[in-house]
Every structure is written in structure tokens, then in C-alpha cells.
Structure 1
Amino acid sequence: MDPRVVRTRFAIVAAGTDLFLERGYVGTSLDEVAARAGVAKRSVYNNYADKEELFRAVVLTATGTTSAFVAEIVSALEEPDDLEEAMRDLARRQLRAATSTRLVRLRRLLIGEVSRFPDLAREYAERVPGRVVAALAAAFEQLTAAGRLRVEDPERAAEHFAFLVLGSSLDRALLGDARELDDAEVAAIADSGVTAFLAAYGTG
């Protein structure tokens, strides 16, 4: 693809993301997106037929970081020397990412528009929490086979892990608590979640 087209699309999606987060879906126009991106109106319409298509691009672009986190899960839990420490580190990274201000604002935006974009919400759920749970489940299954965990239902165990780590913190963030957790809070919440998980599924 022409690098100029790539740069233009990046600028449009970045501007669209900022405006949707600032003004909501209804309050944003493609003309405003063009002005914020510093491109001609025609450039926006050449790349995105309408506001709905741009909104979809904004939401799905935000799922791109999931692949990197899934790779981190595979790497962190593949024959770790210290399983508990590896899980604590992974849990801290997961909690920081899931409660970051920008991602929380995007999730709120998508939740607010779920009646308008039900298929997009389902796709986001599959691409983000769904992929993370699947990666955790696969890792827990392998760790069970290696005798390091006792997991009968890997998918359910992965859901338990995710809720123990994210649960109430993510709920509070989605419901309006704009304050990001500091490092000490992240460590305390994530570590206690791992402790509870290993109490249920560990072999010790």
C-alpha cells in the first residue's frame, strides 16, 4: 500500500479516536475529523464511506495491542522457573493495560453505542477479552499437563484468573473512577489475585 495512504489513514483514525472520545459518536462529524487530522474532507470519504465505518476502524484498531499481550502470556507461562512470580508479573501488566485511561474511555464509548453497533461489540469481545482468555486457558492446560497446576476446565480457570486480577478495579474504572491505579495498588491487587488463583488451582 502507498505509504501516503497509510499515513493518511493513520491520521484520520487518530483524529477520529480523539474526537469520538471527546464528543461521543453522535457529537462527532467527519468534517471535524478531517480538520483535526489536517487532511482534505475528500480524503476522509475516500478512505471511510461514512462515520459508522470510521467508528468501526477506531474500535478495531484499538484491538491491535491484544496480539502483543497474547504473545506475552505464551512467553511468560511457557516453562517459567518461578510460576508464581511469572503470574504476578503477567497479572500486573494485564491490570495496568485493562485499566489505562484511554482504553477504559474507549470501552465506555463502545458500551454506550452497543445498541447501534451490536456486531462490533461482539467482535471487540472476541478479539480482546476473548483472545486473552483463550491464551490463558491454553497456558493453564499446558501447565496442568506439566504438573504445575491442577486445572480441570482451563477456560473457566482463565476466566477466574481474569476476574480475580481485573474484577472490581475494571468495574470502578468503567463506572466513572477516572483515577489510574498507582504501582503499589497494581501490585497489591494483582498479587492478591494470583494468590487466590493459586490457592484454588496450585499444586502446593
Structure 2
Amino acid sequence: MSEPTGRSARKRATILAEARRLFLAHGYQGTSVDAIAAAAAVSKQTVYKNFGDKQALLMAITDEALQDAVDAFSARVAALADTTDLRRDLTELAADYLRVVLAEPVVQLRRLVVGEAARVPELAEAYLQRAPERTLAAFADCFTRLGERGLLDIVEPRLAAEHFAFLVVGRCIDEALFRGGPAVLESVDVHAQAAAGVRVFLAGYGRN
């Protein structure tokens, strides 16, 4: 008889939570499937049954951590294309983008991926495609539509997206890797940082 769906879902969630905690504490190489199974109070076979192997488990953790944040933010970016007040709404979006990038779960995951990039390059590639690349693509699509509306002067949407992203996050994204997202958020005026980035972006891409 198969295990009830609810119980299976709870086991899977527990395995993910414990694996995430151990990976962040000890790294990918320093965490064994045996340790994950013990922490989750399940058998090693249960871990394999749910996730296949340790790498697939790490990928599942990456997906879980990024999906909600990236999906929600991508929807926000898409909605910006219909703005009636570009500077105001772009500044609000920029501030939210900075907060998302500096959220501690995102920073912790980024640390983990960076630390394992040389040993598990496919994880690094998957992270790039699921987070930065999706976000930049969403910016590029939005800026293309704003250009079509005559609000921006866009020739290379992807380049404009990259300029916008880095004008907003600036040094904060690197500082967060060493100091932690909360510490950086406490030290920076998010609205001022966002407004400054938008001001420079519109100076280069705005259309009067």
C-alpha cells in the first residue's frame, strides 16, 4: 500500500529543510546523505526515493528557495510595462529588487552555490538560469515594451537590463556574501539606493 500523500509531502518537506540546514552549515561536500537522513528521521532509502541523489536534492533546495521569490518578482517586473508613472514605479521596483537580492535565504543560497561552483558546475549553471538570467530576461522584456510605448529609448534590451540591475544592487550584492543580507540592509538606505540607480538609468535610457 502506498504512503498517504500528506505524509509523503511532510517527509519530503522535512528532508528538504534538514538538507538545506546541513548544506548551509557544512557545504555540499561536507554533508552526506546519511547525515541528512538522520537529521530528517527517515531512512537513507527514503531520501533516495524522493530525490534520487544528493545533487538532485541540492537542486530541489535551489528550486524551492528561488521559485517563490523569482516568480513573484518576475510578475512585478512584467506589470511595470503598464506603468503610468515610470520614475515612481521603477524606483519602487528597484527597492523591492534590492530587498529580494539581500534577503538572507537568497544570500545563503548564493554563498552555497558559489562555494560549490568548481566542484558542481551544473549547480552553478542551474542557479544562474533560475535566478539572475530569469530576472534579467524579465527586465529586458519589460524595457522592450516600455520602449514600444515611447517611455524608454532601448536599442539593446538585455544590455539595458544588466545596467539597471547593477546600478541598483551595486556593491551590496558582494557585501552581502561576506557580511550577510540583514547587516547590509541595516547599513543602506534602500529607497535612496534605488532612486539613485533609477536616476542614472533614466539619464541614459529615458525618453523625454
Q: Return the letter of the residue paired with 1:101.
A: E
Does residue 72 in structure 1 map to residue 69 in structure 2? no
Give the equivalent residue in structure 2 for 1:198.
202
Q: Verify the 8 A CA contact 1:21 1:105 in the aligned structure 2.
A: yes
Instruction: Report how far residue 138 of structure 1 moved.
Output: 0.7
Q: Verify the 8 A CA contact 2:172 2:184 in the aligned structure 1.
A: no
Gaps in structure 2 of 5+ consecutive residues? none
**In 2: Cα distance, 1:119 partner to 1:34 partner:** 24
Does residue 115 in structure 1 map to residue 125 in structure 2? no
Instruction: Report how far residue 50 of structure 1 moved.
Output: 2.9
Does residue 56 in structure 1 map to residue 59 in structure 2? yes
Q: Verify the 8 A CA contact 1:101 1:180 in the aligned structure 2.
A: no
Q: Verify the 8 A CA contact 2:66 2:106 in the aligned structure 1.
A: no
Q: Return the letter of the residue paired with 1:164.
A: L
Instruction: Report how far residue 183 of structure 1 moved.
Output: 8.7
1:94 pairs with one of 70, 89, 97:
97
Name whichever of 54-63 and 155-164 sits farther off. Answer: 54-63
Identity of aligned residues (%): 42
Q: Return the letter of the residue paired with 1:15.
A: E
Instruction: Report how far residue 184 of structure 1 moved.
Output: 6.0
User: Counterparts in 2 of 1:1-204, with a 5 A limit?
Assistant: 2-65=5-68, 66-75=70-79, 77-174=80-177, 176-178=178-180, 179-182=183-186, 185-204=189-208
Q: TM-score, normalised by structure 2?
A: 0.90
**In 2: Cα distance, 1:104 partner to 1:157 partner:** 24
Q: Verify the 8 A CA contact 2:102 2:173 in the aligned structure 1.
A: yes
Q: Return the letter of the residue paired with 2:56.
A: E
Deviations 1:57-95 (A, max 9, x none): 2223222121121111112x1321211111111111110
SS state at 1:149 partner: coil
**In 2: Cα distance, 1:49 partner to 1:151 partner:** 45
**In 2: Cα distance, 1:52 partner to 1:103 partner:** 19
Q: TM-score, normalised by structure 1?
A: 0.91
Gaps in structure 1 of 5+ consecutive residues? none
How many residue pairs match? The answer is 202
Deviations 1:152-196 (A, max 9, x none): 11110001000101121101112x122131396111111111111
**In 1: Cα distance, 2:52 partner to 2:74 partner:** 32
Structure-2 change in CA distance of 1:183 and 1:82 (3 Å): farther
